[in-house]
DNA sequence: CTGAAAGCGCTTACAG
DNA sequence: CTGAAAGCGCTTACAG
C-alpha cells in the first residue's frame, strides 16, 4: 500500500541501504546519488515508517512525559501549561515527539510508564513533578532509563532542572522586609512536594538573618494547591489575626487567597507569590509584585538536558546533569 | 539484551506464534498452555516490544492530539486542561497512549502531524479546536485518516464532538432576560472560531424571540481570548455605556472582564459565561451563574468516538459520527 | 562510494 | 489446539 524504501530503491536504481543513507544525509553518499534518490522520494511521495525505523535502530525520537497524580488541581495551575509550552517548543526544534502518561491514579500511571520503558516506546522520560518516595521514579531509575526531573528528585544522581527555591523564597521575603513588613505569614502547600519545603526554608532564613522572632503560627502549611483553600484561609486569617504581609508559595493558591482576603477586609494586604510566567497579560494580577520562576525555561531546559543524557548514555559517558533556572522579582 | 518472544517460547517449549496468542489471550489456546506461558513470561520478566508489534500488526495503540497555534492564551484557558483530563481518562481506560503535536506555529505543527500520519505513529487524531480553512484538517481528511474534531469542523462528514453552542448561548441569554435584563451585551472572541459565531447566533435568537431591538453596538467581537482584553473592554464599557448584563462567550476573557469592571465601577454587573468545568472549587467565581459546557465529557467523548471510527474503518463500515454534549446552567 | 545479507521482535495466514 | 514460515519496513555491519 504505502510506498516503501524498496519501491524507492528500485525506481532510483539503487539499493535500499543507499536510500536509507540518503534519508539520513550520510556524508559517504555522492551528491549525484542523493539528488537522484531525493527526486524519486518526492515523486513517489515517500515517507519513512517510523515503527520500522524504531525497531531497527532502537531509537524512537519520542520523549515520555510523566505527570503527577492529577485532578484539575495540577492541570489548572498555570505552572503546567507554561512548562508544557517550553517542552513543546524544544521538542519541535529537535524533532522529538511527546508522549503522555495516561491515568490519574498511581496504578495506571505506573503501568503507563512501564509500557513506555519496557515497550521501547520512548527514548527517555521527563517527570513534571518531584515528590518523596515516588515508586515510578524509583522504577525508572533502577532500570537505568534516561530521565530528567523538573524539580528536586529525592534520589541522588538523577538529572534535574529546578529553580533555586530556597533562595527564591528568601528573596521574596526580603523584598517584603525591605518594604517595612515584620510579621510575615507563609502560605505553603503539600509538604510532600520538595519545593514547598525549600521555599519554607528560604522564608525562615530571611527572618532569621534579620533576627526576627517568629513561631509556627506564622506558617500555614500542609494544604492542597487549590484556590478555594487559599480563599478560606485568607478569610480566616483576615478575621482572626494580623499580619503585615504574606509569602504565598503557590500561584494558584494565591489567586484564591487574594480574593478571600478582599471578601472580608477593606485593607489590602501585600502578597508576594511565584509565577509560572511573566504575567503582563493578566492585569488583575498586576497589583502585586511576584517572583518569576521561568517555568517555560524549566520545560525547555529539561528537554534539552534529556537529549544530552541520552547522548551521553550512547557513548557510555558519566556526567552530572543538573541545572538551575534563574528567577527574578517583578514589580509592576 | 531484552527478553524476546523467542526466549519465552524456547523456555516454555512452544512456538513463538503460540506466545503471541497467549499475550493476546486468544481463545483457541488451551488453558494449560496459557498458564505455562504466562508463568514463563513472568519468570523471565518479559515485555513486548511495541515497535515490533506496531510494525507487524499495523496498529499502534497511540492517538495523536492536534493543538491549535498556541501561545499561552490557549494553554492557560481552563478549557484546555479539562479536556485533557477527559482524554487522559478515556485513554487510560482503553490502553491508548496520547502523542502531542509539537510546535507553536502552523508549519511545525503541520509537519508534526504529517510525521504521525505518514510515519504510522498513531492510529488516529483528535483535533482540540475547530477553525475555518485549516490546512492540517484538510490534509488529514484527504488522507482518509481516522480523526475526531472537538468543536464544529468546517468540512462535512468529519466526525465531531461538540456542545450545542447556539442553544447554549440562547439559554444563557434567556436566563438574563428572565432576570429582567433587557439591554444585554455580547462579549465574543475570534470569529475564526466557529463556536464564537454559534454563540453569537444563539444570543441574537434569544433577543429576537423576545422582540427586543438590538444593534451592532451590543456586540463586541473580533477579540483575542485573553483576560486583559476582557479587562480593558470592561473598563471601556463601564465608563462609556450602560448595559443591564453581559453574555461573555469565553471563560478566560470573563475573568478579566469582571476584574476590569470592578476596577472602575461600584455596581456589580450580571455576567454569564461558559465554564469548562463545574467550578465549585473556585469560590471567587461563584458569584455569577454560568453554563457548564462539560469539557471533560468533550474530551472523553472524542476519544471514545475515535476508537469507534477506527473500528468502523477496519470493517470498512460507513457511519455518521457526531455527538453533542449536554450543558446546564449552574446557579450558586 | 555502493550493495547484498542479516536482523530488529513481533504477527499472520496457512497447514496440520 | 499448535507450529513453521514468511513478512512488516527499516538499519547496520561487512564486503568490495
The CATH number for B2's domain is 1.10.260.40
Cell numbers linked to A112: 503507563
Q: What is the mean pLDDT of residues A5-30?
A: 90
For chain B, where are the alpha helices, taking DSSP H only? 5-12, 16-23, 31-44, 50-57, 72-76, 79-94, 106-118, 135-142, 165-178, 194-209, 227-240, 251-264, 295-314
Is the domain of B157 the same as that of B176?
A: no
Are A171 and A237 contained in the same domain?
yes
Q: Is residue A177 part of a domain?
A: yes
Residue A313 cell numbers, joined: 548514555
Residue B253 within a domain: yes
Instruction: Please determine, for residue B149, whether its predicted confidence score (pLDDT) is greater than 80.
Output: yes
**pLDDT given at position B282:** 52
The answer on pLDDT for B173 being more than 70 is: yes
How far, in Å, is the CA of B86 from the C1' of nucleotide C13? 39
- A317 and A216 fall within a common domain: no
Are A173 and A123 part of one and the same domain?
no
Beta-carbon separation of B102 and A85 below 8 A: no
Flag whether pLDDT at B48 surpasses 90. yes
Confidence of residue B165 (pLDDT cuts 50, 70, 90): very high
- Cβ contact (<8 Å) for A81 and B75? yes
Q: Is the pLDDT of residue A61 over 70?
A: yes
A174 and A280 both lie in a single domain: yes
Identify whether residues B7 and B66 lie together within a single domain.
no
Residue B162 near residue B319 (C-beta atoms within 8 A): no
| The predicted structure's pLDDT at residue A277 | 66
| Mean pLDDT score, A29-40 | 88
The overall average pLDDT reported for chain B is 88
CB spacing of B82 vs A72 below 8 angstroms: yes
The pLDDT, as a whole number, for residue A281 is 47
A24 CB less than 7 Å from any atom of strand D? yes
Q: Residue B178, class by beta-carbon neighbours within 10 Å (0-12 exposed, 13-18 middle, 19+ buried)?
A: exposed
Which residues in chain A touch residue B231, judged by CB atoms under 8 angstroms apart?
A: 283-284
How many angstroms separate the Cα of A36 from the Cα of each of A46, A48, A49, A304?
14, 17, 21, 35
Whether any strand D atom is under 7 angstroms from the Cβ of B1: the reply reads no
- This prediction has a pTM of 0.90
Co-location of B129 and B277 in the same domain:
no
The C-alpha cell at B297 is 465529557
Examine the domain organization and report whether A267 and A314 are in the same domain: no
Q: Which of B78, B287, B286, B284 is nearest to A234 (CA)?
A: B284
Which residues of chain B between 9 and 68 are close to nucleic strand D, CB under 7 A?
A: 13-18, 21, 27-30, 32-33, 52, 55-56
Across the range A236-264, mean pLDDT stands at 86
Q: Which of A150-164, A252-266, B186-200 has the lowest mean pLDDT?
A: A252-266
Q: To which H or E segment does residue A275 belong?
A: strand A271-275
Decide if A284 and B118 are in contact by the 8 Å CB cutoff: no
Provide the pLDDT confidence category of residue A65 given band limits of 50, 70 and 90: very high
- Establish if A200 belongs to a structural domain: yes
So what's the pLDDT on residue A90? 93
**Same domain (yes/no): B190, B213:** yes
Averaged pLDDT for residues A269-278:
80
pLDDT, mean of residues B202-217: 93
pLDDT tens for each residue of B117-138: 999 999 999 999 998 889 999 9
Total domain count, chain B: 3
Which positions in strand C are less than 7 Å from the protein's CB atoms? Answer: 1-13
Q: Lowest mean pLDDT: which of A52-66, B3-17, B307-321?
A: B307-321
Residue B54 maps to a domain: no
pLDDT tens per residue, range A124-147: 999 999 988 899 999 999 999 999
Query: Residue A221: its pLDDT value, please?
Result: 87
From B30's Cα to the closest Cα of chain A, the distance in A is 27
Predicted confidence at residue B76, as pLDDT, reads 73
Q: What is the pLDDT of residue B71?
A: 61
Q: Is residue B45 part of a domain?
A: no
Which of the four pLDDT bands, split at 50, 70 and 90, describes residue B28? confident
Q: Is residue A304 part of a domain?
A: yes
- Per-residue pLDDT of A172-194, as tens digits, reads 999 999 999 899 999 998 888 88
Name the residue with the least CA to C1' distance from nucleotide D5: B17
Query: Which residue's alpha carbon is at the shortest distance from the C1' of D3?
Result: B15
> Within this chain, do residues A158 and A306 fall inside the same structural domain, yes or no?
yes
Supply the CATH number for residue B157's domain: 3.40.50.2300
Q: Which of A274-283, B73-82, B254-263 has the lowest mean pLDDT?
A: A274-283
Structure confidence at residue B284 (pLDDT): 52
Q: Are residues B184 and B281 in the same domain?
A: yes
| Protein CA at B23 to nucleotide C1' at C12, angstroms | 15
Strand D positions closer than 7 A to protein CB: 1-13
CA angle A105, A107, A111 (to 5 degrees): 120
* pLDDT above 70: residue A72: no
Asked if the Cβ–Cβ distance from B104 to A119 is below 8 Å, we say: no
* Closest by Cβ to A81, choosing from B50, B72, B119: B72
Query: Which nucleotide does the CA of B26 lie closest to, via C1'?
Result: D1
Question: Which of A55, A82, A97, A223 to mutate against chain B (most B CBs within 10 Å)?
Answer: A97
- Give the pLDDT score at A178: 92
pLDDT at B327 over 50: yes
| Residue B29 confidence (pLDDT) | 85
Domain presence at residue A34 = yes
How confident is residue A224, by pLDDT bands cut at 50, 70 and 90?
confident
CB contact under 8 A, A112 and B92: yes
Does the pLDDT at position A31 exceed 90? no
Per cent of chain A over pLDDT 90 is 55
Please name the member of B47, B85, B284 whose beta carbon is closest to the beta carbon of A256: B284
Q: Is A67 helix (H, G, I), strand (E, B) or coil?
A: coil
Higher pLDDT, A325 or A85: A325
- Flag the least confident range among A29-43, A251-265, B107-121: A251-265
Neighbours of A58 (CB within 10 A): 13
Q: Is A211 in the same domain as A280?
A: yes
Show the domain range for A271. 165-292
Any strand C atom closer than 7 Å to B34 CB: no
- Chain B residue numbers touching A85 (CB-CB < 8 A): 70-72, 75, 104
Q: Is residue B51 part of a domain?
A: no
- At residue A284, the pLDDT reads 52
Question: The C-alpha cell of A32 is what?
Answer: 549525484
CB contact under 8 A, A82 and B92: no
How crowded is the C-beta side of A109, counted as CA atoms within 13 Å? 16
Q: Is A41 helix (H, G, I), strand (E, B) or coil?
A: helix
Average pLDDT over residues B51-78: 86
Percent of chain A's residues with pLDDT above 70:
95
pLDDT confidence tier of residue B47, bands split at 50, 70 and 90: very high
Amino acid at each position: 500500500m504505502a510506498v516503501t524504501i524498496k519501491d524507492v530503491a528500485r525506481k532510483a536504481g539503487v539499493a535500499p541501504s543507499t536510500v536509507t543513507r540518503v534519508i539520513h544525509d550520510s556524508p559517504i553518499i555522492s551528491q549525484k546519488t542523493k539528488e537522484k534518490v531525493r527526486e524519486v522520494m518526492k515523486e513517489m511521495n515517500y515517507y519513512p515508517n517510523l515503527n520500522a525505523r524504531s525497531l531497527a535502530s532502537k531509537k524512537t525520537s519520542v520523549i515520555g512525559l510523566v505527570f503527577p497524580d492529577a485532578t484539575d488541581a495540577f492541570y489548572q495551575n498555570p505552572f503546567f501549561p507554561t512548562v508544557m509550552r517550553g517542552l513543546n517548543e524544544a521538542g519541535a526544534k529537535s524533532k522529538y515527539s511527546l508522549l503522555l502518561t495516561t491515568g490519574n491514579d498511581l496504578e495506571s500511571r505506573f503501568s503507563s510508564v512501564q509500557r513506555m520503558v519496557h515497550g521501547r516506546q520512548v527514548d527517555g522520560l521527563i517527570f513534571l513533578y518531584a515528590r518523596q518516595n515516588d515508586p515510578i521514579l524509583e522504577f525508572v531509575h533502577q532500570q537505568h532509563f534516561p530521565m530528567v526531573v523538573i524539580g528536586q528528585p529525592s534520589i541522588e544522581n538523577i538529572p534535574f532542572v529546578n529553580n533555586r527555591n530556597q533562595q527564591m523564597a528568601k528573596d521574596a521575603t526580603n523584598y517584603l522586609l525591605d518594604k517595612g513588613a515584620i510579621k510575615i505569614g507563609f502560605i505553603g502547600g503539600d509538604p510532600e512536594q520538595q519545593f514547598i519545603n525549600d521555599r519554607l526554608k528560604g522564608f525562615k532564613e530571611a527572618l532569621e538573618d534579620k533576627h526576627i522572632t517568629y513561631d509556627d503560627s506564622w506558617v500555614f502549611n500542609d494544604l492542597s494547591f487549590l484556590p478555594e483553600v487559599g480563599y478560606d484561609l485568607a478569610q480566616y486569617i483576615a478575621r482572626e489575626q494580623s499580619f503585615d504581609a504574606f509569602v504565598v508559595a503557590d500561584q494558584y493558591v494565591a489567586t484564591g487567597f487574594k480574593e478571600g482576603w478582599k471578601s472580608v477586609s477593606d485593607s489590602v494586604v501585600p502578597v508576594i507569590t511565584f509565577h509560572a510566567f511573566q504575567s503582563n497579560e493578566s492585569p488583575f494580577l498586576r497589583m502585586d509584585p511576584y517572583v518569576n520562576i521561568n517555568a517555560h525555561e524549566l520545560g525547555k531546559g529539561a528537554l534539552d538536558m534529556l537529549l544530552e543524557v541520552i547522548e551521553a548514555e550512547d557513548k557510555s559517558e558519566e556526567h552530572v546533569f543538573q541545572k538551575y533556572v534563574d528567577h527574578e522579582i517583578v514589580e509592576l
